[in-house]
Each structure stands twice: as C-alpha cells, then as structure tokens.
C-alpha cells in the first residue's frame, strides 16, 4: 500500500538531496539481484535517516537488519570522525552484497557487519549507542526494544521501520496475522513506556521515532 501518490513521491524525490552514485548503484543492484527489493529503505527514507544521523553526530550506531546495506550507508553519513556503526543480519547472501558496498564507501573502516541473529548478538555488545535502527524480523520488535533500551544513551534515538505495516495495523486484533499483531503490540508498548518519548511518523511504511528520556 502506498500512502501517498506516485506523483507526490516522485516530486519529493526531485526536491530532495539526490542519492549518491554509490547508493544509486546499490539500489539498482538490489532490485536486479536480491529477493524482496522493497525491503531496501530507498531514496527518501534513506535521506531522512542520513539527516537524522547528521543532526545527532553519533559515535555509535546499531542497526538490526542490514539487508543489502542501503540504510547502514545512509546512517553512516552522520557518524562522528571516529564513530562506528554495527549492523547485524544472518543472511550471508545479502551480507556479501552489503559488505561489497561498505568496502567501496567512505565508511569502510567505520562499518562492522556482524553475521548472525540479532537476538543472540545484541546481548554480547558492550557499547552504548546514540542511534539504533530496528528494521529486522517484525515478530521480535518488542524483544529488540527490550534488548537495546539499556544500551541507548540518554537522549539517544531509536528508529523503527514498518510500524504501519502497509496499513494492516488498522485491522481488528482478531483479524491480524502474527507480524501485524507483533507490530501493533510494539506500537502500544512504546507508546506507554515512560522511559521514552515517541512519534509515529507516517513516512513510507511508518517510522516510529523514539527518544530515550
């Protein structure tokens, strides 16, 4: 489901910073070679992630769900000079493509791709993070929030993708499939958590922006 018309999407793209040549090539290669290319953040969401990262000038970013690396490269644009981005994904095939583009980027030394299940890897991380981007398997969204909340700095930002799930969050609860129910439960959980301030932004498939108080 598209929330705004194709014409308005196109207009927004035409009046926003263009994708870099590297991001444009990655976008194209993902659409040609990877399964489910719709999972890639894309031009407007990518520019939004970049802008948020540049505002926060993070030292440490954690991304859960790398796919082919598009959003990681966008988030890396705001990294402090000695900042680091860790991104986690168990898919070896898309990890190969992501790593290829990370190596070609200006952030080759700052991005670390950990191959594996984020529910197992996050508890092993000792860093605290300025930004966490949750964009992996939907049924674990609430678990990811619980695993990372104590690792986020005060004032840090948690961004979660697909929280409108193509509009399916509007279904009656007894009609929701497990992924939709998990996203709806996550949205309610975050909205009632006094440790954070949140905004559900209806951009693309819905982005939940969460600041740790």
Q: Is 64 in the site for ligand SAM (CB under 6 A)?
A: yes
Q: Which neighbouring-strand residues pair with 157?
A: 131, 211
Least distance (Å) between residue 83 CB and ligand SAM: 18
Q: Is 65 in the site for ligand SAM (CB under 6 A)?
A: yes
- Give the contacts of 40 (CB within 8 A, at least 6 positions apart): 27, 30, 31, 34, 67, 68, 70, 71
CA distances from 165 to 122, 162, 171 (A): 25, 5, 11
The footprint of ligand SAM on this chain (CB under 6 A) covers a number of residues equal to 20
Q: Is 13 in the site for ligand SAM (CB under 6 A)?
A: no
Q: Tokens standing for 97?
A: 């493509």
Q: Is 19 in the site for ligand SAM (CB under 6 A)?
A: no
Among 13, 29, 80, 117, binds ligand SAM (CB under 6 A): 117
What is the bridge-based pairing of β-strands 152-161 and 129-134? parallel
- Closer residue to ligand SAM, CB minimum distance, 133 or 155: 133
Least distance (Å) between residue 42 CB and ligand SAM: 8
78 to 107, contacts with ligand SAM by CB under 6 A?
88-91, 94
Sheet holding 207-212, edge to edge: 111-115, 84-89, 60-64, 129-134, 152-161, 207-212, 196-201
The binding site for ligand SAM (CB under 6 A) comprises 39-41, 64-67, 70-71, 88-91, 94, 117-119, 135-137
């Amino acid at each position: 489901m598209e929330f705004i018309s194709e014409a308005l999407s196109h207009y927004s793209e035409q009046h926003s910073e263009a994708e870099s040549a590297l991001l444009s090539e990655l976008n194209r290669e993902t659409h040609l070679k990877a399964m489910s290319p719709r999972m890639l953040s894309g031009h407007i969401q990518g520019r939004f992630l970049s802008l948020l990262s540049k505002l926060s000038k993070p030292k440490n970013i954690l991304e859960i769900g790398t796919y082919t690396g598009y959003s990681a490269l966008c988030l890396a644009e705001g990294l402090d000079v000695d900042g680091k981005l860790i991104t986690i994904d168990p898919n070896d095939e898309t990890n190969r493509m992501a790593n290829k583009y990370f190596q070609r980027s200006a952030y080759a030394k700052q991005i670390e791709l950990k191959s594996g299940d984020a529910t197992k890897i996050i508890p092993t991380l000792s860093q605290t993070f300025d930004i966490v981007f949750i964009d992996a398997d939907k049924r674990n969204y609430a678990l990811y929030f619980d695993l990372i909340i104590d690792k986020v700095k005060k004032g840090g930002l948690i961004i979660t993708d697909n929280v409108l799930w193509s509009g399916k969050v509007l279904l009656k609860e007894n009609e929701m499939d497990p992924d939709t129910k998990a996203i709806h439960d996550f949205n309610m959980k975050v909205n009632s958590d006094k440790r954070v301030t949140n905004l559900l932004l209806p951009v693309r498939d819905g982005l939940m922006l969460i600041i740790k108080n």
